[in-house]
């Protein structure tokens, strides 16, 4: 079990460029989510998915798109990168959000810098 | 989901117990208390969770007050590798779509 795998680990983009942050999990988890973490702050939810074909917005969705065509993958797309999107991005998955006491598994993060 | 209040930072001597408090005075009856930690910009790591009974696992113990308005995470013998930011989170189990991370408590274990 690799758990939750994020790629790339580091990325530098120029303002206006687009890119996709990859997230894959091999635990057959239904629920996946994307967070961003800015210096000195907690994690903020960007988008989440409760299963293949179903996505919804979180707290800070502007400038990001997601899709969930398979259970395993949940890519995050930056449409037109802006310096305000410089952050560390974390992907997480849960086995079952309906089950009591379900823990979340996090990837190791993608550190994105937009110049 | 109920909000939580944690101290910004704490120090603990290596080998001693680290007791990290969390206030969640508005917690509802169906909300669980979760603890996660984040070691130096790595992804957050699950530690423990509980509803109303005290819980213990290989990493830590969780003590929840009888009125459930506060809890304490206990690392029984802190090591340097326990230096991290610790997050206390309360959430409903069923159908929850988020983990609300605050700024947590930065625990520094001192040699």
Taking the C-alpha atoms of residue B61 and residue B26, their distance in angstroms, rounded to an integer, is 22
- Write down the mean pLDDT value for chain B: 90
Segment A19-25 shows an average pLDDT of 97
Task: Return all residues near A40 (Cβ < 8 A) that are at least 6 apart.
Answer: B103
**Which of the listed ranges A56-65, B24-33, B98-107 does the model predict with the highest average pLDDT?**
A56-65
Q: Do A92 and B99 touch (CB under 8 A)?
A: yes
The residue that leads in pLDDT, B3 or B72, is: B72
Percent of chain A residues past pLDDT 70, beyond the cut: 93
Taking the C-alpha atoms of residue B38 and residue B83, their distance in angstroms, rounded to an integer, is 9
Report the candidate in A101, A28, A108 with the shortest Cα–Cα distance to residue B57.
A101
Enter the tokens of residue B68.
């459930």
pLDDT in tens, A40-74: 778 898 999 988 999 999 889 999 999 999 999 99
Q: Do A104 and B32 touch (CB under 8 A)?
A: no
Segment A12-24 shows an average pLDDT of 97
Please tell me what DSSP assigns to residue B44: P
Q: Is A31 exposed, middle or buried (0-12, 13-18, 19+ CB in 10 A)?
A: buried
pLDDT in tens, B79-95: 999 999 999 998 765 45
Residue B96 pLDDT exceeds 80: no
Distance from CA of A63 to the nearest CA of B (A): 20
Band (B101; pLDDT cuts 50, 70, 90): confident
**pLDDT of the residue at A96:** 67
Beta bridge partners of B37: B45, B86
Taking the C-alpha atoms of residue A42 and residue A108, their distance in angstroms, rounded to an integer, is 15
Helix (H, G, I), strand (E, B) or coil at A12: strand
Chain B contact set for A35 (CB, 8 A): 101
Helix (H, G, I), strand (E, B) or coil at A33: strand
CA angle, residues A22, A5, A23, in degrees to nearest 5: 25
- Write down the mean pLDDT value for chain A: 91
Residue A100 pLDDT exceeds 70: no
B53 close to A (CB below 8 A): no
Band (A39; pLDDT cuts 50, 70, 90): confident
Nearest chain A alpha carbon to B99: A45
Handedness of CA A97, B55, B99, A91 (dihedral sign): negative
């Amino acid at each position: 079990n690799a758990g939750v795998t994020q790629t790339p680990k580091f990325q530098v983009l120029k303002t206006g460029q687009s890119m996709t942050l990859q997230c894959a999990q091999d635990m057959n988890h239904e629920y996946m989510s994307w967070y961003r973490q800015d210096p000195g702050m907690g994690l903020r939810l960007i988008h989440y998915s409760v299963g293949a074909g179903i996505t919804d917005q979180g707290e800070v969705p502007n400038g990001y798109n997601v899709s969930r065509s398979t259970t395993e993958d949940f890519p995050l797309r930056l449409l037109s990168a802006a310096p305000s999107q410089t952050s560390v991005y974390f992907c997480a998955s849960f086995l079952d959000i309906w089950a009591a006491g379900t823990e979340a598994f996090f990837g190791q993060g993608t550190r994105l810098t937009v110049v | 989901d109920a909000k939580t209040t944690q101290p910004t930072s704490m120090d603990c001597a290596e080998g001693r117990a680290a007791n990290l408090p969390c206030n969640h005075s508005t917690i509802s009856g169906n909300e669980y208390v979760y603890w996660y930690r984040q070691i130096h910009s790595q992804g957050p790591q699950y530690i423990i969770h509980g509803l109303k009974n005290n819980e213990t696992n290989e990493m830590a113990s969780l003590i929840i007050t009888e009125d459930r308005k506060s809890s304490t995470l206990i690392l029984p013998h802190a090591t340097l590798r326990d230096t991290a930011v610790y997050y206390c989170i309360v959430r409903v189990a069923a159908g929850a779509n988020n983990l609300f991370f605050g700024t947590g408590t930065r625990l520094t274990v001192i040699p």
